[in-house]
Structure 1
Amino acid sequence: MRTPCGGAGIRATARVEARADGRGGTALPVLDGEGPLALRRTRSTGATARVTLVGAMSGPLGGDHLTVEAAAHEGARLHIGSAAATMALPGQSEATARYDVRITVADGAELHWLPEQLISVRDSDLRVTTRAEVSEGARLVLREEQALGRTGEPPGRLTSRLVVRRAGVPLLDQELSCGPGAPGGWDGPAVLSGCRAVGQLIVVRPEFAHDKPQPKPLGEWAALTPLAGPAVMVTAVAPDALQVRRVLDEAWSHLG
C-alpha cells in the first residue's frame, strides 16, 4: 500500500515481532510490510527466526518516510537481514527522505540487525535514524554500513544517527553527516579521510559487564571501542563497502 506523505513521497512501515513459541523456537506473530518494505521469513536454524527485508520498489526517494519496527520479546531469537543494498535516490520532491529503524529487545531475548549497506546516490538527500532499546538481560548485534555514491560518482547528502539505550540508560548516541551541504570536515582526516565507505558494529551482551574486550585498533581501517556499559562498538572506514564488510565480519568472528 502506497500512502502519500504530505503530497510528496510515501509513508511505509514494516513490522516484525518475535516471541518464544514454547517449544524451543521462535514464532513471528507479526510480520507485515507495505510499500517499498516487504518482509519474508526465511529458513530458520535452531531457536532463531530469520527474516529478510526485501525492497519491493525503488526507494527511499526524496520525500519518502520509511520505518522498520522490530521487537524480540522475552526468550525470542530474531535475525533480520536484507536481500540487497538500499539505494537512497533523488525523487521528484526536493524534500529530505527519512528512514527510521526502531529496535526493541526484551530480557532473555536476542536480536541481530544485519542489513546490507546503504548507498547514498548522487543528488539524493536521506536522513537515517536507528534507535535500539535493549533490556538489562538482552543481547543485540547491530551492523550499519554506508557507501558514499556508486562507483565513479559523488555521494548525495546522508545524515545517519545511531542511538542505543540499555535499561533506559544511553550506551551510544552518535551522528554522522556526509555529502553536499554537510558540515565542513566530514571528508577530512579526522572523519572519513577521503574514504567512501563507513560502518559500525555494536554488540551488547550482559556478560560484557564482567569481561569486556579492551580498546584496540583493528588493522588500518578500524578500531574496537568499549562503550559505557556491557557493550562494544567496532567502527570502520575504507575506500569501498566490500573492505568495510570484511573488517566488520572479522571483528564479529572474534567477538562471536
Structure 2
Amino acid sequence: MGVRATARIVARDDGRGGTALPVLAGEGPLALRRTRARGDEARVMLVGAMSGPLGGDHLTVEAEVGGGALLHVGSAAATIALPGQAKGEARYDVRLDVAEGGELRWLPEQLISANGSELYVTTRIDLAPGARLVFREEQVLGRAGEEPGRLTSRLTVRLDGRPLLDQEVACGPGAPGGWDGPAVLAGHRALGQLVLVRPEFERTPATARPLGECAALTPLAGPGVLVTAVAPDALRLRRTLDEALGALG
C-alpha cells in the first residue's frame, strides 16, 4: 500500500490590493511554503518533503483562486516518479479552480519519469468566465542515460463548464505503439505544453504558427492558446516554452 496525501491551497482577495492564503496545507511528501510576494500576487512553493510519487502512491494537489486574487505556484525542484517497493501504478492528481477575475500562474518544475516507474497524472482545470490562467507542464522521459518509465498524462481544461482542452499522452514501456515515432516525439526525451487563457483572446485570437522546428502555437476554441513542444532535454524545452510565454506577453 502506497502513500496517500493531499496538499490544498486557497487564495482570496484580501481587500487591500493583495492576495491572502486562508488555506495552505500539505501532507506527507507534499509540503507547501509561502514565499515573498510580488505586488498583489501570492507565491507558493511546492516542496518535496520525501521521495515520491512511488509505486502505489496517490498524491493530490488542489488550488482554488477566488475573484480578484492572483496566485503563483512553483516547485522547489523537479518531481521524480520512482518504482518504489509497493507494486502498482502511482497516481498524481492536480485540481485547479479559478473564479471570475482570479488569476493562476501554475509554473512547477519538470516531472521526470525514472526507469521502472509507472505513473498516471491527471490535471483538471475549471475556469469561470473572465478567469486568467498560465499553466506550464513539462515531462522528461528518464534521467541522464536512462530509459524512461511508463508515463500517462491527461490534461482537461474547462471554461464555464464547457471543454476548452482535453488531451492525453502516454509514453514509455507498454504505451501504445508509435509514441517515440516521427509523428509524436521523434526520438526526443522532453515534452511540454503551455496553456494561456485570457479574456483578450476572445476579442483578438492568436494565430496558429510554428515556433521553431519542434514547437507550435495553436489557438483554442475559446479565449485561450496552447503551445506544445518537444526537445532533446529539459533545458532546451524550458527555453522554448519561456520564449513562447515571452512572445505572448
Normalised by the shorter chain, which TM-score bucket?
A: over 0.9
Q: In 1, Cα distance between the equivalents of 2:200 and 2:120?
A: 34
DSSP-derived class of the 2:244 partner: helix
Q: Partner letter of residue 225 of structure 2? A: V
The superposition leaves residues 73-104 of structure 1 with CA deviations (integer Å, 9 ceiling, x where unpaired) of 01100000000000000011221000000000
Between the aligned partners of 2:172 and 2:86, the Cα distance in structure 1 is 19
Partner residue in 2 for 1:52: 45
- Choose from 13, 21, 38 the match for 2:14: 21
Shift of 1:213: 1.3
Query: 1:114, 1:45 → 2: CA distance?
Result: 15
Shift of 1:220: 1.0
Q: Distance in 1 between matches of 2:234 and 2:162?
A: 32
Give the RMSD, CA atoms, in angstroms. Answer: 0.5
Report the CA distance between 1:50 and its aligned residue. 0.3
SS in structure 1 at match of 2:185: coil
- 1:56-71 maps to which residues of 2 (within 5 A)? 56-71=49-64
Aligned to 2:216: 223
Unaligned runs of 5+ in 1: 1-7
Which residue pairs with 1:137 in the alignment? 130
Residue 203 (structure 1) aligned to one of 196, 199, 213: 196
Secondary structure of 2:236's match? helix
2:241 alignment partner, SS class: helix
Q: Does 1:122 align with 2:138?
A: no
Superposed, 1:69-108 pairs within 5 Å as 69-108=62-101
Runs of 4+ in 1 over 3 A off after TM superposition: none
Q: TM-score, normalised by structure 2?
A: 0.99
Given residue 105 of structure 2, which amino acid in structure 1 is its aligned partner?
H
1:240 maps to which residue? Answer: 233
The correspondence of residues 165-180 of structure 1 with structure 2, limited to 5 A, is 165-180=158-173
Residue among 225, 231, 245 paired with 1:252: 245
Match of 2:57, as an amino acid?
Answer: D
Q: What TM-score do you get using the length of structure 1 for normalisation? A: 0.97
1:26-37 alignment to 2 at 5 Å?
Answer: 26-37=19-30
* Alignment partners' CA distance in 2, 1:243 and 1:171: 28
Equivalent pairs: percent with the same residue?
Answer: 72
Measured after TM superposition, the shift of residue 230 of structure 1 is: 0.4
Aligned length: 249
Q: How far does residue 221 in structure 1 lie from its aligned partner after superposition?
A: 1.4
Distance 1:69 1:135 in 2: 16
* Correspondence for 1:40: 33
> Is structure 2 residue 174 aligned with structure 1 residue 181?
yes
| Deviation of the 1:105 alpha carbon | 0.3
What SS does the aligned partner of 1:208 have? helix
Q: In structure 2, how many angstroms separate the alpha carbons of the residues matched to 1:146 and 1:125?
A: 14
Structure 2 unaligned blocks of 5 or more: none
